[in-house]
């Protein structure tokens, strides 16, 4: 559980971060990290259209550089975008100059007030600094779809078990997560709709 849903006692260490939306409403926020990439993003966009859901895509700068047409298609389809680093390296292990350079590179490519640190990890000083520039978003549920050791059915169970009012849920728009995400996301959405949940962007 400590992986899928971080306990409140740890969340309180970073009060400036958005972990969860409105707890009083049956609304979920689907987020997709790491894209865009040509083998998965087109399928994901078509599937979200089919499901009639808008999500929030936290994009990696170098992937936007490599696939600008897919980045613009995400926006054209009515989804929100956010920054997810230029090279997807942990800020925790970067000196301040390297971290600022990475931030400048991704900010030049992605126009958004949303930021999700790669791997969800920054130094506390970096969290504070980024919170002054952006709405820093982590998550209420991480599906672990990135883990090839997990069966797709397990990923789906994680998503449906831990989601609750206001959950910000992480899936991944990446090659290593495609098998799990393609299976789990549509099935989880069908379950959530049966439970009366609505879906919004951040």
Q: Which are the catalytic amino acids?
A: 33, 172
Buried residues in 93-130 as b, exposed as e (16+ CB within 10 A): ebeeeebeebbebbbebbebebbbbbebebbeebbebb
Measured CA to CA, the distance from residue 197 to residue 62 in angstroms comes to: 34
4 contacts 162 by C-beta, under 8 angstroms: yes
Question: Computed from CA positions of residues 97, 110, 131, 27, in that sequence, does the dihedral angle turn out positive or negative?
Answer: negative
Measured N-to-C along each axis, helices 41-51 and 178-194 cross at an angle, to the nearest 10 degrees, of 10
Measured CA to CA, the distance from residue 145 to residue 127 in angstroms comes to: 25
Measured CA to CA, the distance from residue 155 to residue 181 in angstroms comes to: 8
Residue 164 burial (C-beta neighbours within 10 Å; 0-12, 13-18, 19+): middle
């Amino acid at each position: 559980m400590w992986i899928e849903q971080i306990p409140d006692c740890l969340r309180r260490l970073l009060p400036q971060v958005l972990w969860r939306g409105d707890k009083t409403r049956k609304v979920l926020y689907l987020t997709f990290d790491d894209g865009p990439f040509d083998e998965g993003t087109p399928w994901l966009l078509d599937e979200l259209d089919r499901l009639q859901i808008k999500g929030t895509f936290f994009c990696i700068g170098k992937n936007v550089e490599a696939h600008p047409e897919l980045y613009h298609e995400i926006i054209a389809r009515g989804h929100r975008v956010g920054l997810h680093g230029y090279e997807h390296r942990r800020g925790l292990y970067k000196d301040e100059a390297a971290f600022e350079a990475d931030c400048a590179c991704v900010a030049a490519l992605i126009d958004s007030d949303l930021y999700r640190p790669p791997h969800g990890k920054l130094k506390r000083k970096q969290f504070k600094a980024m919170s002054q520039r952006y709405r820093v978003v982590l998550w209420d549920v991480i599906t672990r779809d990135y883990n090839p050791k997990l069966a797709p059915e397990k990923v789906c169970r994680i998503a449906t078990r831990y989601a609750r009012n206001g959950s910000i849920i992480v899936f991944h728009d990446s090659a290593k997560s495609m098998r799990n995400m393609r299976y789990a996301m549509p099935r989880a959405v069908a379950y959530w709709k049966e439970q009366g949940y609505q879906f919004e962007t951040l």
